[in-house]
Chains A and B, each alone.
Chain A
Amino acid sequence: MPFVNIIRKRLIFLVLVVFGVSLITFAISHIIPGDPARLVAGDRASDEIVTSIRQQMGLDRPLPEQYWRYLTGILRGDLGASLRTNRPVIEDLVAFFPASLELALVALLIATLMGAPLGVLSAVYRDRPIDHVVRTLAVIGISTPAFWLGLILIVTFYGALGVLPGGGRIDPNLAIPSRVTGFYLVDSLLAGDLPAFGSTLRHLVLPAFTLGFIHLGVVARQIRSAMLDELQQDYVRTARANGIAKWRVICGHALPNALIPSITVLGLALGDLLYGAVLTETVFAWPGMGAYVVNSIQSLDFPAVMGFSVVVSFAYVLVNLAVDLIYMAIDPRITGVN
Chain B
Amino acid sequence: MTARGRELFGLVVASVIAGLALASVTMARSAEISADALTYAVLFLALYVAAHIVVRRTAPYADGALLPVTAALTGIGLAVNYRLDADDARRQALWVLIGVVVLAATLILLRHDYRVLESYRYLFGIAAVLLLFLPAVPGLGERVNGVRLWVHVGPLQFQPGELAKIFLILFLAGYLREKREVLAQGRLKEFGPLLAIWGAAMLVIVQTADLGSALLNFGIFLAMLYVATGRGLFVAAGLGLFVGGATLLYQALDRVQERVTIWLHPWTDERVYCALNGKLELRQDCASYQLVKSLYSIANGGYAGTGLGEGTFTTTDGTELIPHLRTDFIYSAIAQEIGLVGSAALILLYMLFIVRGMRVALRADDGFSKLLAAGLTFGFALQTFIIVGGVLRIVPLTGITLPFVSYGGSSIVANFLLLAGLLLVSHRANVPRSP
Report whether chain A binds chain B: no
Q: Which residues of A contact B (CB under 8 A)?
A: none
